[in-house]
Amino acid sequence: MNLHIETAGDGAPVLFLHGVSGSSATYRWLELDGRRNVRVDFRGHGASDRAPGTYRIQDYADDAISVLEDIGPAALAGHSLGGVTAWTVTQQRPDLVTAAFLEDPPLFMGEPAEHATNPGIPNFRELSAKAAAWQAEGASEAEVREQLAAEPYLEGVTHAEVQTPDALAARAYALLNVDLEVLDRVLDGSTLAATDTAAPVTRPVLILAADEAVGSAFPTAHEARLAASHPDVAVVRLPGAGHSIHDMAAAREQYVAHLLAFLS
């Protein structure tokens, strides 16, 4: 499996893990002084190899583990799918993890009952159809970026008014370069089905959660469940922040502040 990896800076490594149908480009804006920033494209995403028949949580965990075995123990920072991957790797290979920073992770969304009522699934279905059309048409990144920017984020508010320009550009690139089977596995519920929410984690974990009123993959009901089984996991919820916290112009500064404070 050939994985696309980007690095920047020097110091203790931090491995950044993107969300489903994203890519390492979503973190190119982020510089952490005194840290070695390592960004990877999961299989089927960005410039990494495609791997039909995989695209489940253990496959993504294996991708992250393969990178960690090369760079040595590192802190993990993962968004959405990347957050669940970071959680899984921390459970399975604590020797490779110093700490895990999870951005709005859908830890419980792999359960059949949760998947059936997941409000994000209709959005993924629509996204899958759009990505398939853009890829078939040979749309340019600029064209896709413009369409994404014009789409509604909330009623009366477009993505362009909420997300940073670099976030929209990274999203356009990612959707033009994702294996569409990745989204099929999200839609059929198999991506996260094997997520283990019971096994212990023995490294520090912080969850930076989105505002449930805006849209969170880690709602307060899930927060309560995790607190019962993993009371040492810290949770910070950001009022007004949507699922992709690091992409939001109004929340990016808070994202960086919480990440740096946790890593320190």
Per-residue pLDDT tens for 117-154?
999 999 999 999 999 999 999 999 999 999 999 999 98
pLDDT grade, residue 18 (50/70/90)?
very high
Residue among 26, 4, 20, 48 at smallest CA distance from 181: 20
User: What pLDDT shows up at residue 64?
Assistant: 98
pTM above 0.75, yes or no: yes
User: How many separate domains does the chain show?
Assistant: 1
pLDDT at 209: 98
Do the Cβ atoms of 23 and 174 come closer than 8 Å? Answer: yes
Amino acid at 219: P
Domain carrying residue 19: 5-263
CA angle 58, 179, 252 (to 5 degrees): 75
DSSP label of 254: H
* Contact in structure between 107 and 84 (CB atoms under 8 Å): yes
Q: Bridge-partner residues for 15, per DSSP?
A: 38, 76
Round to whole Å and give the CA distance between 119 and 193. 17
What's 176's domain CATH number? 3.40.50.1820
168-186: pLDDT as tens digits: 999 999 999 999 999 999 9
Beta-bridge mates of residue 152:
158
pLDDT computed for residue 155 by the predictor: 84
How many other C-beta atoms are found inside a 10 Å radius of the C-beta of residue 83? 27
Alpha-carbon distance of 108 to 87, in angstroms, equals 12
Please give the Cα distance from 119 to 30 (Å, whole number): 29
